[in-house]
Structure 1
């Protein structure tokens, strides 16, 4: 009875190793994206954002790749802080990784300040250009600070 268990375990180890390696890559991509948004880094944003991106904010605003890039670079949307509040969780296949993470953000949009805690869902896909963000949606949590 124990032999089939070990055969299954050995068969699944490569999948576990694959998932571990790619979640490390995605953690790095998530960090690079946060830094690119904070620093208004047009080159990094161009690399990380998929051409068909849909970027959903907690207030219902949905941006395309071009809008995220333009608003980030021009300063229409300026992030002051993007801080993880909890470790991200991952669901992975060979070409898609879905992440969930609790974060705290502060910044300004059209000269109006915001500060809030968000639950963020991201979908990353593997492309010829590496892992790129295809979709993002956030929702406010109960622990939000009032808008300043």
Structure 2
């Protein structure tokens, strides 16, 4: 009986890890596309979105910054990603590398990111919090 319980727990966690990974990929694609409807599906209304510069945005500010071109991604790649699920919350860490064109100013970015994802009432994984940080040299 204990083996069956352990097996079903591992299967549920594996399913959640895949769902979280898919939600992060959908976020990456929405950020690249800049499509408002896609971006609005990424975060919870209570989103706290922290940049490596220290600027913090709420959900509306996060969406509008990308839609208006204040934050624009030409390329956006995520690597070294880990996902840890604990109930209806997941912690995701990865390295973000991107070519940007924020407000018409081209740039290159390589930062660390920690995401906190939460499963909403509909069973969808949504972004609750994000904090970017500068990587050590």
Do these two structures clear the TM 0.5 threshold for a shared fold by scoring above it? yes
SS in 2 for 1:66: helix
Alignment match, 2:108? 115
After superposition, residues 73-92 of structure 1 pair within 5 angstroms as 73-86=67-80, 88-92=81-85
Alignment match, 2:24? 30
Q: Aligned partners of 1:113 and 1:134: how far apart in 2? A: 29
How far has the Cα of 1:103 moved from its partner?
2.0
Is the 1:116–1:140 contact (alpha carbons within 8 Å) kept by the matching residues of 2? no
After superposition, residues 1-148 of structure 1 pair within 5 angstroms as 8-86=2-80, 88-129=81-122, 130-142=124-136
Q: Aligned partners of 2:106 and 2:3: how far apart in 1? A: 51
How far has the Cα of 1:134 moved from its partner?
0.4
SS in 2 for 1:33: helix
How far has the Cα of 1:8 moved from its partner?
4.4
Count of equivalent residues: 136
**Length-normalised TM-score, structure 1:** 0.84
Runs of 4+ in 1 over 3 A off after TM superposition: 7-10
Deviations 1:9-68 (A, max 9, x none): 443222211111011111111111011011002112111211000111111111110001
Q: Aligned partners of 2:136 and 2:74: how far apart in 1? A: 21
What CA RMSD, in Å, does the superposition of the two structures yield over aligned residues?
Answer: 1.6
Q: Aligned partners of 1:110 and 1:95: how far apart in 2? A: 36
* Structure 2: gaps (5+ residues): none
Q: Aligned partners of 1:141 and 1:81: how far apart in 2? A: 19
